[in-house]
Amino acid sequence: MMSLSRNSAEGSLIGIIFPVLVLFGISGNILNLTVLLAPNLRTRSNKLLACLAVADIVTLIVNLLHSMAYYDIFKLNIWFRKFYGDYKFQLIGISKWSIATATWLVFVICLERLITIKYPLSMRKQAKFFTPRNVVPIIVVTTFILTSYNHVSHTCLGKLYCERTQYYVVCLDINSERWFRNEPNPNSELMKSFVRYAPQVNAIFVVLIPAILVIIFNVMLILTLRQRQKLFEPSTTIRDDSLNGSQTEAEYKATITVTAIVTCFTITQSPSAFVTFLSFYIQKDWFTLRSICTILVVLGKALNFVLYCLTSSSFRQRLREQLNSGKSTRYTSVETH
C-alpha cells in the first residue's frame, strides 16, 4: 500500500537498472563539461555540446529522484514521501523540459555541423546566429512554454495517517469530473482546455518534429562525412580552398564526434518519442513500454562520455591532462601538509 510504483515490472526496471546508469551518466557528463569548457577548447560546437551536457545532467538528476521512490529506505520515509508526493508532477515537468531542450539542442548541433562541413564559407557568415548566446536562450524559453502544462496538469492532496507516521498523496487531473471530498471541479474552463490540448501541441513540436528532423539531418551529415572522407585519404592531393588543410581536418574530426552523439541520440530517444506520440491516439497500458523507453533515454545520455572517449583523441588527451593535473595538485597538497 505504501508502494510508489505502478507495477513490479516498472519497479524492477526503474529501481534496479536506473541508478547505475544515472550515476554513471552524471559523472560522465560532469567530466564532459570539464573538457568541453577548457579555455583552449571553447569552440562554438563544444559550447553547444556543453549546454547539451547540462540539460542531460538535469534530466538524470530528476530521474534519480524518481528511481529513489522504488527503494524502501526512501518510499517509507515520511519526509521523502511528502517531497516526492507533493512535487512529483513538477519534477516530471522539469524532466520533460530538460529532455525537450536536449532534443532541440541536438538538432541545432547537427545542423551547425552539417553547414560547417558542407558549406564552410556560408557558416562563417552565419556564425553569429549559431552562437550559444543566441540559440540556447530561445530553445530553453520555447521548450519551457511547450512543457509548462505539466506543472499545472494535476492537483495533489496529501494527508497523514497512523498517528502522523504515514503520508499518502492523491493526485487528480484538473480535467477530472470528480474532485476532492466530492466537491465540484474548481478549475476554470480555460485551464482545463490548456491542459487538455497542450500535450498534443507538445507531442508535435517537442517529440515528433524534432525527432524527424534529427533523423533526416543526421543521415545527411553521415552522407556528407563519407563524401568529405576522400579529402583525407593519403592518395588525395585535392584540398578544399575555403579552409586550410589542418582546419578542415579539425572540423572533420569534430563532425565525426557530433555524428556519433547524434546517432546514439536518435537510436535511444526515438522509441520514447514515438511511444509518447502514439499514446495520445491509442488508449492502452503503456507503462512497461514507457519504462523500457525511459531506460533507453537514460542509457543514451550516459553513453555520451563513452562516445567522446572513443571518437575524439583531443578529448582523451585533454581528459588525461586534467586527471594528471588533479593528481599532481592533490599530491602537492598532501606534501605541504
What pTM was estimated for this model as a whole? Answer: 0.84
Structural Rg of the chain based on CA atoms: 23
Q: What is the DSSP string of 167-192?
A: EEEEEEETT-SS-GGGPPP-S-HHHH
pLDDT of 142 over the 90 cut: yes
pLDDT of 24 over the 90 cut: yes
Q: Kindly report, residue by residue over 58-107, the tens digit of the pLDDT.
A: 999 998 888 888 787 887 888 888 888 889 899 999 999 999 999 999 99
Count the alpha carbons within 13 Å of 177 in the hemisphere toward its beta carbon: 0
Amino acid at 187: N
Looking at residue 50, its pLDDT comes to: 93
| Domain residue spans of the chain | 8-229+245-327
Report the Cα–Cα distance between both ends of the chain, in Å, rounded. Answer: 54
Superfamily of domain 8-229+245-327: Rhodopsin 7-helix transmembrane proteins (1.20.1070.10)
Strand, helix or coil at 127? Answer: coil
Residue 39: count of CB within 10 angstroms of its CB: 5
Q: What is the mean pLDDT of residues 43-58?
A: 91
Looking at residue 140, its pLDDT comes to: 96
Q: Kindly report, residue by residue over 275-321, the tens digit of the pLDDT.
A: 877 777 777 767 778 878 888 888 999 999 999 888 888 888 888 88
Looking at residue 311, its pLDDT comes to: 86
Q: Which residues, other chains included, contact 76 with Cβ-Cβ below 8 Å and sequence gap of 6+?
A: 2
Q: Kindly report, residue by residue over 176-216, the tens digit of the pLDDT.
A: 888 888 888 889 999 999 999 998 888 889 888 888 899 89
Class of residue 162 by CB neighbours under 10 A (exposed 0-12, middle 13-18, buried 19+): exposed
Is residue 298 a contact partner of residue 22, using CB atoms and an 8 Å limit? yes
Q: Which of 237, 28, 52 is nearest to 136 (CA)?
A: 52
